[in-house]
Amino acid sequence: MPLARQMSGQYLSEAEYLEGEKLAAERHEYVDGQTYLMAGASKRHNRIARNFINRMEDAANRKGCEVFFSDVKVRVAKYKTYYYPDVVVSCSADDEADEYYLEKPCLIVEVASDSTIRKDYMEKSLAYQSLASLQAYLVVAQDKAQVDMLVRLADGSWGLRQFDRLDDEITLPCLDMVLSVADIYRQVLAE
């Protein structure tokens, strides 16, 4: 089994990783030959991701987009990585390179935890920003109202927008919809 080879420290090719991941009992992210076991998610984490998906579904359908959650990978070819975002939106009809991953997402949401926050802000942020199709990357805290959104500006650079009040409203590009911070934290934080 290819993922077993990984334990011995040998380089794992992308093809070996993808085949091994189809058979694996646990999910792994891949970074240039190395795999990393995914941690389990809390109920809070799942509620936040579910709130995004529930709110996005109608807008995605109207725009001809699809919303996927934690079992669909995003491939970042430039960095030879495959990540499992908590929520990912694709509006590209030609993003069909593989049944198990996307290459042209327009929106990615990561729900941060103590064990992932550094990776979400540093490694994944850098990798995701290299995707030409990506318009926004959101990192969402679990224990307080805090949503940080990196958004691609008209000149191609990236800007940071922060939302930390329940009545703040976030305009999600590619879906052309507004989502309140209260919607994101529904059944998570005391209102």
Q: What is the pTM of this model?
A: 0.92
Which pLDDT belongs to residue 157? 96
Which pLDDT belongs to residue 1? 43
Neighbours of 30 (CB within 10 A): 25
**Residue 108 and residue 86 in contact, taking contact as beta carbons nearer than 8 Å:** no
Which pLDDT belongs to residue 174? 93
CATH number belonging to the domain at 41-184, selected among 1.10.10.60, 3.40.50.2000, 3.90.1570.10, 3.50.50.60:
3.90.1570.10
Which pLDDT belongs to residue 9? 67
Report mean pLDDT in 10-residue bins for the chain, 191 residues: 53 94 92 89 92 95 93 95 96 84 96 86 94 97 95 96 97 95 90 48
Q: Alpha-carbon Rg of the chain, whole angstroms?
A: 17
Q: Where are the domains of the chain?
A: 1-38, 41-184
